[in-house]
Amino acid sequence: MLTLRLNKRLLKYLSVIKTNWIHLVGFYISTYIGLIIFRLLGMQRYSYESWNSTLFLNLLTIPLLFFTYGLIILICFHLIIILMDLLAFRFIPVRFEYILIVEWLVIIPPFVYWAFKYDYWLWLFLTASFLCTQFIRKRWLKGIVNE
């Protein structure tokens, strides 16, 4: 009986962790949209690219950007999210909105700092994407935790 309870709890935690894949999809979409907006605004860093490159080549290069330049950041990001998910949903399982907002507030300061320090505004798109994907996760998490 105890092992059955532990297995259910472990499966529930793993299900919560599995919902974090949505952040990668959100980062991909927000990076793509951000690069198009930067190109439309004529920002100097992005104005040398052709529209063909902006619209089509970026679909292939964004994953390369994530897994070369951003791999360490993505790993640290997901480890922090997983740790916070495990702790929060273990001790405060019914306050989804608060948990997700606190996770967002804890994680975004470095991104905002880097955006202003390095004049790399794509970080702001990623923070907005993270907030949106947190609320997408909220619907899934309610179903998982309330089972």
Residue 28 pLDDT: 94
- What is the pTM assigned to this prediction? 0.85
- The answer to whether residue 96 is domain-embedded is yes
Number of domains in the chain: 1
- The answer to whether residue 88 is domain-embedded is yes
More confident residue, 118 or 53: 118
Instruction: Count Cβ atoms within 10 A of the Cβ of residue 53 and give its class: 0-12 exposed, 13-18 middle, 19 or more buried.
Output: middle
More confident residue, 32 or 3: 32
Structural domain range at position 79: 11-145
Three-state DSSP class for residue 12: helix
Cα 70 to Cα 85: distance, rounded to the nearest angstrom:
22
Any idea how long the chain is? Answer: 147
- The answer to whether residue 2 is domain-embedded is no
- The answer to whether residue 5 is domain-embedded is no
